[in-house]
Amino acid sequence: MNKIKKLIAVLICIAEIIPAGAVFAAAGDDFVPSKEYRSFDNLAGYIQDMYIDDSLDKDELMKKALSDYLAGHDELLVQLLKAMFSGLDDYCEFYTADEYEEFQNSVELTFYGIGITMIQDGEYIAIESLVEENGQAAKSGFKPGDKIVKVNGTDVVGWQMSDVRSRIIGELNTTVNITVLRDGQYIDLVGVRTQVRQSTVKMSELEGNIAYIKIVSFGSTTVDEYKSVLQELNERGIKKIILDLRDNLGGSLDAAVGVAETIVPKGKIIDVKYRDSKYNVTYNSTKEKTDKTYIVLVNGGTASSSEILASAIQDSGAGKLLGTKTYGKAVIQGTYPLTNGSYFKITIGQYITRNGHEINGVGLEPDHEIINQKNQINSTTYTQFDFKTPYALGNNGSGVLAAKERLRMLGYFSGTTTNEVFYNDLKDAVKIYQRDEGLVPSGIIDIPTQVHLENDFESIEIVTDNQLREAYVMLGGKEENLNNR
């Protein structure tokens, strides 16, 4: 209850500087009060004029009613705080303690796993290695080479790695039962979920001495990860880089500036302006000159800190932007804690690019506009239905494989497509698909189900990454080499 009272105190403090009428007016200039509100307003007026304590006015009554009501309704208080912050702009937000932890994990690419890395090994997902800084996996009895057979009693042989991974990760300090196959024997082990952090920077080398670097988000480790990648490239003598910032929604301002300092030649990176001008700051690079050739991939999902980096590269001439116009988020949020573990995020500033451009709501125009191509899937290259033969659990045939291929592409099936046998995992996928399509959920691949599957399958669009292809060719790569990847 103390936590709730503290939150109410925050809310009431805000209410004290905003007249009650203004609270409702915030709903929009065309706000029309309901009959109930007009009745409340009349009632409050009577109390203000007639109650023996003449110190009360309508605003005081509103605040007292709000405080007394919310004191016993925790969930309503949270909803009100969320509505209050979301009403400021698109980027302000109130987080409960659990929500903030989830938000931070999404930025830092942190999850709770059992401390292993995995690889595909035929129909099995096998343990490739144990995470060195996490000794819990070894203590639990896992060993490199173990083939994962079951997760919490569910047979996962033939599953995709992403689906097995989603079964293994969960809440911190909880356990997961895993059966592994080792030296021909099945062994039951219990994994303990601990914190695992994924890399925010991913690099691969392309033919032609060209590097492809993807920054997924800007977190607390991004600068160190990027510098480590650069060191590796320097050792290999690679000076041509495709830097992919597509669909990177941002993250830490400091991380974006830190990466920019390794790329942008001497001069301004960004100007940051706050409500109080005495806090304004200019971030600069001291790098003498750009020593590599950069092409930066951007799109409508490139936002915030990603646009800081992209704009600095473009404005300084350190590289060219290729793709489509960026999102256009040039405002900065500060995140602040409350005593009960909750947080609020509020817009506190805006940034101006190196060359003085204000891009909020506008975005960055690429130097080379390239649009990725979308084509309908060519269903003739896949196994075909005959639309005559139904299939049920235990059957086998080409129609079973056709169903597996289509259900996998539609996101319903995660098992193997290397055989024509109808197992339980396929039956479960068929039933879910049938329910979603309004068909009888029999789990049988009957003729109506085959027709629906074929129609949905033929509507799938395959995206051709023209942006990556064009960037690769511009840096001297041969298109046929990229086709082989």
Residue 220 in 3-state DSSP? Answer: coil
CATH 3.90.226.10 for domain 201-332+346-369, yes or no, is: yes
Residue 369 in 3-state DSSP? Answer: strand
* Residue 7 pLDDT grade (very low, low, confident, very high; cuts 50, 70, 90): very low
Summarised one tens digit per residue, pLDDT across range 198-240 is 788 999 999 999 999 999 889 888 999 999 999 999 999 999 9
CA atoms of 234 and 230, how far apart (whole Å)? 6
Give pLDDT, residue 274: 92
Half-sphere exposure of 134 (CA within 13 A, CB side): 20
Average pLDDT over residues 392-396: 92
Summarised one tens digit per residue, pLDDT across range 152-180 is 998 888 787 778 887 888 888 899 999 99
CA angle 423, 428, 429 (to 5 degrees): 100
CATH (one of 1.10.101.10, 1.10.3720.10, 1.10.10.60, 2.60.120.330) for 379-461: 1.10.101.10
Please determine, for residue 256, whether its predicted confidence score (pLDDT) is greater than 60: yes
Name which residue leads in pLDDT, 419 or 485: 419
List, in sequence order, every beta strand (DSSP E) within 247-326: 267-274, 281-285, 293-298, 319-323
Q: What is the mean pLDDT of the chain?
A: 86
Give pLDDT, residue 209: 94
The answer to whether the CB of 323 falls within 8 A of the CB of 298 is yes
110-197 and 379-461, same CATH topology = no
The answer to whether the CB of 136 falls within 8 A of the CB of 192 is yes
Give pLDDT, residue 247: 92
Q: How far is CA 232 from CA 136, 218, 229, in A?
A: 30, 20, 5
Lowest mean pLDDT among 130-144, 277-291, 411-425, 441-455: 130-144
Name which residue leads in pLDDT, 434 or 3: 434
CA atoms of 260 and 408, how far apart (whole Å)? 40
SS (H, E, C) 247-260: CCCCECHHHHHHHH
Please determine, for residue 89, whether its predicted confidence score (pLDDT) is greater than 50: yes
Sequence-separated (6 or more) residues with CB below 8 Å from residue 243 = 213, 215, 294, 295, 296, 297, 313, 319
Taking each helix axis as running N to C, give the angle between helix 222-236 and helix 253-260, from 0 to 180 degrees, rounded to the nearest 10: 20
* Residue 108 pLDDT grade (very low, low, confident, very high; cuts 50, 70, 90): low
Closest alpha carbon to 302 in 285, 289, 314, 286? 314
Q: Which fold has domain 110-197?
A: Pdz3 Domain (2.30.42)
Q: What is the tally of helices (H) and strands (E) in the chain?
A: 16, 21
| Model-wide pTM > 0.75 | no
| Extents of the domains making up the chain | 2-77, 110-197, 201-332+346-369, 379-461
CA atoms of 83 and 197, how far apart (whole Å)? 32
